[in-house]
Each structure stands twice: as C-alpha cells, then as structure tokens.
Structure 1
Amino acid sequence: MNRFIKTAVAAVAAVGLGLGLTACGSSSSSDDGLTKVTFMNYWTPDTNHIGVYVADQLGYYRDEGLDVDIVAVSTAGGEQAVSTGVADFALSTLTNVSMFDAQGGDLEMVMQVQQEPSAIWCALASNTSITRPKDFDGKTFATFGSSESDAVVKKMIQTDGGTGDYDKVTVGTSTFQALTSGRADFGGFYSTWEGVEADLYGPTLNCFAEQDYGVPGNADSIGIITADSTVQNDPELVQKFVTATQKGYMYAYEHPDEAAELLVKAAPEADLDIDLVKKSMQVIVDGNYWGDVSAVKDGSFTLGTVDTKSTQEYFDFLAAAGAYEDANGTVLTTAPQSTDMSTNEFVK
C-alpha cells in the first residue's frame, strides 16, 4: 500500500473527533501474569511490519513479560487508535505523527525502523510519453488526496524543469489498477514492496525516486509510535516493547528468509506470497533501508534510532509547501519539530 493513504487518514482523522472507538488498548495482566498490550498495524501486514511478527513468533515479547495482540488497522488509522487508547502501540511514520500532532495530537515515535526513503513515482513502462518527472506535467496523478503527495510531486516536476501542473484522480486502494485501467498516468509506490511486486509479476514500471529530484530528507520514517502519556506514565512498558521489537527487526535484518517465512505463517489473513516477501526483505537488506548493514553489525549504528535530522529536513520542506494544517484547517507556516515528537531513550 502507498504511504499516502495513511498520511491522508492521519490528516482526516482529526484529533478529538470521537469516531466511536472503544478504548481497549490500556495494558492489563493476563491469567499467566503477562502484561497485555495491543499493537495496531499500519496497513495489511508486509515487510514493514515483519519485526513485530518475528518478535511475537520467537517469544521476544513473552521474554519481556508481554502478551501482544497484533490487530488490523482501524478505519481511523493507527494514530487515532493510539491517541484514544484503542491501541498501546502502532506502526506509523514520523511524518504522520507530525501531521497528527500539528492538529493537537499527543503522539511520540519511540523507535524508527526505516532510515532511507523508499517512495518511488511511477508510470507504466508502456506509457512512452513519460520518461522523466518533467513529463508528469499535464498528466493525471493517481492520488489519495494527500497534501503531502501534492507537494512531493510538484517539487519533483519543477526540479526536472517542468511547471508542476497536472490533473488528479482520487483512487481507492490500488494505484496499479488506476494505471492499468487508464484512469491515471502515474502514481506513488514503495520500492521495497510494490516495486518488488512489479518486478516479479508486472506490470513493468518506469520509476523515479523523489530524493533524486529535489525532495529533501526522509519521508518514509516508518517506526513504532505510542502516546505521550504512555511514555510519561509507563516508561517500563515502552522499554519492554521497544527492546523486544528491536530484537525482532534485528533478527529479520540478519535472517531475512527465515523472517519472511515467519511473517507468512503468522499472518495467514494477508495471503502473502512468500517469494514477494523474501525478495522484499532482500531489497531492504541490500538497500540498507533499516540502517547500514555493516554499521549495524559492528555496533556503530543502533537499529531503531530515530533520525531527527533527516525527518526535520522533510518537515521543513512540507511546511514551506503549505502541507501542514492545524485542527481548524489553518495552514501552518512553521514546521513541527521532530525532536518534540520522538525519543531515543528506549533504543539501546
């Protein structure tokens, strides 16, 4: 799934709207003495989630005294679920947290998995009228309604010498379908998932990375979020969850094929293709997406560290493009500060 679905959800699910969610995420003790914890997925389980599933399957959470319930993402999104106490933790991005907090939210990232942007902007290779981002001018963009994606696409086109003028069509959940049906000419994907899927099974795409066309920082800061109140009131719980989750992602980075098999087994409802999952993990490892592999191995980089510098560069870019709004819909000209919505105190 494209990251911009979740960003749009975070912006639409305004803080305090009361979407009928029943609080069930507050931790409690199970019959065997373990602390019950609810974790909400970002979307359908994929390799972004793999460390959580590995930690659960290999007993890392149980070793920390936790009984973790992994639940499907709600319509309102993981950000809203964590804010209202429906979930204790969720997978999200620091960009989503910044959008949510700009509207009065109270979220915090306690562990960042993805250290490099993976967004790619693609057209079908059969569409010979698009050979570079400049060619997006006058074409139709398959959008999920996100102001973030508009800012990124416009910047890429203008950096490549175009005007940044394009048409848009709002799609549901499949950008692939929008392109192959002719409803749209280009759209956004993840190189680590949809890009892999296209390589394995088609359709053949012609893609461009946003960082090659003027978009600064890391837009795809995928990691673990929780509520500020949880960090303040139950730091021991946060530490236990982060410790086990780090261990799960470390295992996946060091044993990608074995982790892929664990994910497929643990998430049968997702009907994951094992070849896709294994290839995705290999792309993640080869691309150092979770941090330089050699640096992780020699201990000079700790997997899970929140990179406030690259995320802030991206937030500043979004603010300059007018992509942030407060709860009243007023455009914010000052970017949220990544250091105010993240911490590395639990990353060991």
Structure 2
Amino acid sequence: MKLTQVAPLALLSLTIALSGCGNQTAKDDSKSSASPASTSSQTPAKKLTDVKVVLDWTPNTNHTGLYVAKDQGYFEQEGLNVQIIPPGEGGADTMIASGAAEFGVSYQESITQGRIQGVPLVSIAAIIQHNTSGFASPVAKNIKSPKDFEGKTYGGWGAPAESAMIDSLMQAEKANPSKVKIVNIGEADYFTAVKRDIDFAWIYYAWTGVDAELRGEPLNMIYLNKYSDKLDYYTPVLATNEKMIKEKPELVKAFTAAASKGYQFAISKPEDAANILMKAVPDLDKKLVLASQKWLSPRYQDDAPRWGEQKRSVWENYANWMLDHKLLEKNLEVDAAFTNNFLPASTK
C-alpha cells in the first residue's frame, strides 16, 4: 500500500530500558579512594529483548507513535530493543503471521479476510479510532456523492473489495454501479493518475488529502463511514499473532504499553512528534509530515475511552458487510480477531 496512494485497503493473499542507566552521581573522591570496590558496584544494565515491528508501507504519520516510543525510550523502559522495519515481499501481514516480525501494522480488512483463511493474526490496538479513508476526486470532476460515480472512471489496484465498496455506496444512493468504469492503476501516484487516466480513487485523507491541500489541488472527499456504520472499521491497527499472545503475553503487554505512550505523546504534542518522525526518516516531506500530524493527532483516540480501544461491534459490522458482499466465505470468529487485553488503563 502506498501512502500517496490509491489503496488504503491491503487485502491478504497469504498462505501463510533504556538500559535504565542515567548518569550516575559519582562518589566523592575521598570515599572512592578509600574503597575502590564502591566504584564498580553499579547495577548491571537490564538485558533488552529484541523485537521487530514491521510497517505496512513507507513510514508516515500512521506510524508516528512507534517512532516516538523508540525515540523517547518508552520501548526500552519496557525492556524492549525495538527495530522498526519495512515489509518484505510478502507484505507485513505475512511477516507478522509467520513470526518473522513479532508485531506490525495491519488493517481490520486484511485481518478479517486472513482469519477466514486460517491466518493467525490478531489486532491488539486500533491506531486510528475511526475510518479516515474514502473516495477522493479533484473538485473539477464534480463528484460530490456516490451517485456522481456514474459515467466516471475509478482507478484502483484490482481487489474485489473495491467494486463491492463502490456498489454498496452507489446502491444506497439508488445509482447504477454498472455505469462506473474500473481500471487498475496499481501503485500509480494519485495526483498523476487523476490528471491522466481516472476521475476518482480510494485514499487516506490524513496523507493524500492533506497533501492535496498543500499542493493547492482541492478535492471532494466521500468518507466511507458517512454512508454506513459498517464501514467505520479500524484501519490501520497494530497486530501480532496467536502464538505470541499464547506464549509471550508479557511481551505483548510491554510492547502495547510503550506504543500507547508513543501515540499519547503524538496526540498531545503533534509538532514534537512530527519532528521525531522526520528525524528518523529525513527523506519525508517536512511540510506534509507536520500538516498530516496536526490533522491526524486528534483522530488517533478521538471519542474512545483510551487510545487503541476496539469495539466488538465494529469488527462484527464490517465482517457482516464483507459477508453480505460475498467477500468472505463464512462468518468471522470475531472474538479471536482482536483483543483489548493488552492495552494500559484509560488514557482520557
């Protein structure tokens, strides 16, 4: 998935402390010379547990809390030596499910489909409380509602969920989905594609939408969750696998606690958090990162009692939507797909 992209949905195709040592105050010279042993009595540094966290795509503001947790020492305080890594060829979900990375960034969409296929992914925290994705188009295209999709060309990446989503929104408006032309543009840049090949695409507003504002290219945005509660799903999420939860629950708890601190920092200090992300990934567009962070920070937790909280109804609703649109072969075992058990106490 690409963040200046047209693909917020990443469906699976799987087979699948601080060392704690601050500067110690030295003993005075007379004591240290009288008792040499006292100068070598420091407590040994706690051994940190190596952990890999795989991103879903290139670093962006969805991931800020992870970079903050690393930069501010929150992971180390929990006894973790965290390495943030890009996804391999098989994608983040494959790496998380197989244990190649203990944790990673995933989506309710892909976890739902993956679990139906027997993939042991589990969501442990919602990074963003409400779905910020939707169909975007340049204002000049005059696409203000799903009914306006008629006679237009949609650019996507070839997933069945795309046509199902377009059908769902258009049917709610009594429009005709057969009048939409759908083309596969893969990872083509949204801004290039809408000038050349297509009329609208599926984006995350926090990145591509904010980028459009900065470019002076206003767009119309049709948010999915404005048309159905079933489409207000968690995207993205932090995930692990069932084996980690069963065999290393304390590690999962430690990771989630540190990540929560990182996202809380990003909520309360968006500019500082943006600077931390840019320090870690200097190739990012500074203006975009800062603007995106300011837009996204209040939306991480939003109206939830704590950052990361997930509702059973949200998982159930979206699974039912997928089932209704023949994107799932059977019912999802909802309670196995996510857990709030590793989140720290209320952060509001």
Whether 2:139 is the aligned partner of 1:143: answer: no
Q: 1:215 to 1:185 in 2, by over 3 A?
A: farther
Question: Residue in 2 aligned with 1:27?
Answer: none
Question: Residue in 1 aligned with 2:52?
Answer: 38
Equivalent-residue separation in structure 2 for 1:155 and 1:96 (angstroms): 19
Question: Residue in 2 aligned with 1:11?
Answer: 12
Structure 1 segment 261-280 matched on structure 2, within 5 A: 261-268=275-282, 271-280=283-292
Match of 2:331 among 302, 315, 335: 335
Q: Which stretch of the first structure deviates more once superposed, 73-82 or 206-215?
A: 206-215
Equivalent pairs counted in the alignment come to 312
Equivalent-residue separation in structure 2 for 1:191 and 1:289 (angstroms): 14
Please say if residues 52 and 103 of structure 2, whose CA atoms lie closer than 8 Å, have aligned partners that are also in contact: yes
Amino acid aligned to 2:12: A
Equivalent-residue separation in structure 2 for 1:6 and 1:103 (angstroms): 21
Whether 2:222 is the aligned partner of 1:219: answer: no
Equivalent-residue separation in structure 2 for 1:138 and 1:336 (angstroms): 35
Please say if residues 119 and 220 of structure 1, whose CA atoms lie closer than 8 Å, have aligned partners that are also in contact: no
Please, what is the CA RMSD of the aligned residues? 2.0
Amino acid aligned to 2:343: V
Equivalent-residue separation in structure 1 for 2:124 and 2:253 (angstroms): 9
Please say if residues 115 and 307 of structure 1, whose CA atoms lie closer than 8 Å, have aligned partners that are also in contact: no
Structure 1 segment 58-137 matched on structure 2, within 5 A: 58-128=72-142, 130-137=143-150
Question: Residue in 2 aligned with 1:191?
Answer: 205
Equivalent-residue separation in structure 2 for 1:281 and 1:309 (angstroms): 28
Task: For residue 183 of structure 2, give the secondary structure of its aligned residue in structure 1.
Answer: strand
Q: 1:15 to 1:91 in 2, by over 3 A?
A: same
Please say if residues 95 and 311 of structure 1, whose CA atoms lie closer than 8 Å, have aligned partners that are also in contact: no
Structure 1 alignment gaps of length 5 or more: 17-30, 296-300, 325-331
Q: CA deviation at 1:5?
A: 4.2
Q: CA deviation at 1:280?
A: 1.4
Please say if residues 91 and 223 of structure 1, whose CA atoms lie closer than 8 Å, have aligned partners that are also in contact: yes
Question: Residue in 2 aligned with 1:304?
Answer: 308
Q: CA deviation at 1:233?
A: 0.4
Map Cα deviations across residues 173-194 of structure 1 (whole Å, 9 max, x no partner).
223322111x111111111111
TM-score, normalised relative to structure 2: 0.84
Q: CA deviation at 1:121?
A: 0.6
Equivalent-residue separation in structure 1 for 2:50 and 2:258 (angstroms): 14
Task: For residue 206 of structure 2, give the secondary structure of its aligned residue in structure 1.
Answer: coil
Match of 1:281 among 287, 293, 318: 293
Question: Residue in 1 aligned with 2:22?
Answer: none
Q: CA deviation at 1:4?
A: 7.2
Equivalent-residue separation in structure 1 for 2:301 and 2:145 (angstroms): 28
Question: Residue in 2 aligned with 1:179?
Answer: 194
Q: 1:322 to 1:4 in 2, by over 3 A?
A: farther
Question: Residue in 2 aligned with 1:316?
Answer: 320
Equivalent-residue separation in structure 1 for 2:292 and 2:200 (angstroms): 22
Q: CA deviation at 1:212?
A: 2.3
Please say if residues 231 and 238 of structure 1, whose CA atoms lie closer than 8 Å, have aligned partners that are also in contact: yes
Question: Residue in 2 aligned with 1:23?
Answer: none
Map Cα deviations across residues 219-269 of structure 1 (whole Å, 9 max, x no partner).
34322101100000011111111110000000100111100000010122x
Whether 2:256 is the aligned partner of 1:247: answer: no
Equivalent-residue separation in structure 2 for 1:220 and 1:189 (angstroms): 15
Amino acid aligned to 2:302: G
Amino acid aligned to 2:223: A
Equivalent-residue separation in structure 2 for 1:59 and 1:289 (angstroms): 21
Task: For residue 193 of structure 1, give the secondary structure of its aligned residue in structure 2.
Answer: helix
Q: CA deviation at 1:337?
A: 3.4
Looking at CA atoms only, which structure, 1 or 2, has the larger radius of gyration? 2
Identical-residue share of aligned pairs (%):
29
Equivalent-residue separation in structure 2 for 1:232 and 1:4 (angstroms): 36
Question: Residue in 2 aligned with 1:164?
Answer: 177
Q: 1:187 to 1:215 in 2, by over 3 A?
A: farther
Task: For residue 251 of structure 1, give the secondary structure of its aligned residue in structure 2.
Answer: helix
Please say if residues 175 and 188 of structure 1, whose CA atoms lie closer than 8 Å, have aligned partners that are also in contact: no
Please say if residues 304 and 347 of structure 1, whose CA atoms lie closer than 8 Å, have aligned partners that are also in contact: yes
Structure 2 alignment gaps of length 5 or more: 17-44
TM-score, normalised relative to structure 1: 0.84
